[in-house]
Amino acid sequence: MDTQARGKFSLDNLSELSINDYVQLNKIKVATTKNRGNRLVAEENLSGSPEAPPIAIIPSDVVITRDYAGWLAHNDTNFRQLVEAVGFQPDRQLVLLAMLMHLVILYGETPLGPEDRDGLRKSHWNGYLLVQPHDVPVPTMWSPAERALLNGTSLESALGAKLQLLEMEWNTIVTQTTSLPWWNRIFTDPGKSVQLKDWIWLDALFRSRSFSLPVSGEAMVPYQDLANHSRRANAYWRQDPHTGDVFLMLKEGCEMGKGEEVMISYGRDKPAAEMLFNYGFIAEECSMLEGQGQRLVMPLDDILEGRMKEDEFLRAKMDVFGSLPLLELRVLSDGVGRWSSHFAYLLCTEEEDGLTFEMEKWRKMLFHGKNVTAMASMFGVFVNARDELRAVVPSRAVDFVIGVVEEKLRRLGKEVRMTPGTTDGQQRSQTTEKVREQVLKSVSQLKDIEMGILERCLVSLRAEKGGLDGRV
């Protein structure tokens, strides 16, 4: 598939795309810039007021949602066979399958005859996919050398897990459609087949441009996805609860000059790692530890694997906990670090404290003989409510968290001191692979932020440990 064709068409003129006949832009337009891509700007001076009409109306007919995928399956036999064969259920997967269908139809290079393409060849999303950027700046689309720069950060394991998930999803799609001739041709025809890299690209578009709509769920919303992020957003979106149409509105009291960019908020209090992972950039406010605060969320599963031999109950604890064990570090507006991890309390509660498990028929956690399985995900609250454990278990938990933070600082500091492009032995063998300047900048920014959070929280953790030890 000629992936280089994507993104080379400007959105300045969308007259040839049928989607343009449905979306209404009111005194705003799409502008294309060399360094910033496509964006929405005001065509004239605008004022936000309760009486002002939406600056964009995107009808539900052109929004890709779970319901859209259902409509597509009802109207196209090949797509219905694909959905039934792979068995995907979550909104994200169904939206991606619908986008995949449009991508297949869009390219004449695919092994499809004219009769195959006829049903969907005029679909709104075929043309809109064509103008999407070929290079989405999220880490799943970085080169191996660029991804290796994330070693030591909170994204290291998250990125690896995401790439494994995408490969697993793609293998499911390919293997489950081998008995479907139409799809088998598409996935196996030499030189023309749709490939894993296309699925990764569609996922990158989805993560960086999708919206969680109150009525329709996870969705791809054309035109609205061109609105960039700002903590000083001048616009916001809402969905009509009856029609499902999406409106882009100017904020009340906001004044925009001609040529000024329409900006929305992608959400407040997002960790820097989440911004980089989902959108490919780190927002300005993520570097501002003063006032806004900052947050770092770390999965603990990799760390816990090394403790299996030490704690005979660890596997049972993880099974009963029922979700990914996490450690959240937060720097408050006054610069004081705080930590949160319910699993750390469960981890540090031992058999001598009265904790036992029954795992034969059902996963059951007992404390002094009482079934407390339902308290597993909130074990920190439970432990702190008991006088005999109020200092002992928290002291152990803080010890554990201090060890995690110190190890993360050690690894992150080691990676920071290395020359970009040679972060480990594997990357040293890839020195001929060019690392983009923007990637270097983003990774450096992420590491600075995460080191700052770790250092501030370590100071607070050591002080907390001293206070708990005095109470034991």
Same domain, 235 and 286: no
- Which segments within 206-318 are labelled E, that is strand? 210-213, 217-220, 228-229, 235-239, 246-250, 255-256, 263-264, 294-299
Give the tens place of pLDDT for each residue, 389-400.
777 889 999 999
Residue 385 belongs to what domain range? 280-469
What CATH number should be reported for the domain holding residue 47? 3.90.1410.10
CA-to-CA dists, residue 337 to 8, 148, 405, angstroms: 46, 28, 12
Same domain assignment for residues 53 and 15: yes
pLDDT confidence of residue 354: 87
CB 282 within 8 A of CB 276: yes
- H/E element holding 204? helix 196-209
Contact indicator for 227, 40 with CB cutoff of 8 Å: yes
* Whether residue 344 is found in the same domain as residue 457: yes
pLDDT of residue 120: 43
Q: What is the pLDDT of residues 17-51, one digit of tens each?
A: 546 668 888 999 888 776 667 889 999 999 999 88
Q: Per-residue pLDDT for 347 more than 90?
A: yes
In-domain check, residue 408? yes
Give me 368's structure tokens.
């002094």
pLDDT at 134 over 80: yes
In a domain, 271, yes or no: no
Q: Is 22:61 a contact under the CB 8 Å cutoff?
A: yes
pLDDT of residue 295: 86
> Taking a C-beta distance cutoff of 8 angstroms, is the pair 227, 209 a contact?
no
383 CB-side CA count, 13 A:
27
Mark whether 336 and 372 lie in a shared domain: yes
168 domain residue, yes or no? yes
3-state secondary structure of 358: strand
Burial track 305-321 (b if 16+ CB lie within 10 A, e otherwise): eeeeeeeebbebbbebb
pLDDT value at residue 456: 92
- Is the pLDDT at 421 greater than 80? The verdict is no
Cβ burial of 33 (10 Å; 0-12, 13-18, 19+) is exposed
pLDDT of residue 139: 98
Query: Is the Cβ–Cβ distance between 246 and 63 less than 8 Å?
Result: yes
Residue-level pLDDT at 310: 79
Is residue 273, in this structure, part of any structural domain at all?
Answer: no
264 neighbors 56 (Cβ within 8 angstroms): no
pLDDT, residue 332, reads: 85
d(CA 455, CA 266): 28
Using one digit for the tens of pLDDT, what is the confidence trace for 308-345?
777 888 989 998 998 889 999 998 877 889 999 989 99
Q: Is residue 444 part of a domain?
A: yes
Non-local (6+) Cβ contacts of 83 within 8 A are 69, 73, 94, 97
Domains: count for the chain: 2
Q: Which of 96-100, 156-160, 292-296, 361-365 has the lowest mean pLDDT?
A: 292-296
pLDDT at 375: 85
Please tell me whether residues 292 and 258 are part of one structural domain. Answer: no
pTM of the model: 0.85
Same domain, 25 and 55: yes
Task: Output the pLDDT for position 416.
Answer: 59
Residue 284, token pair as written in the block:
């300005």
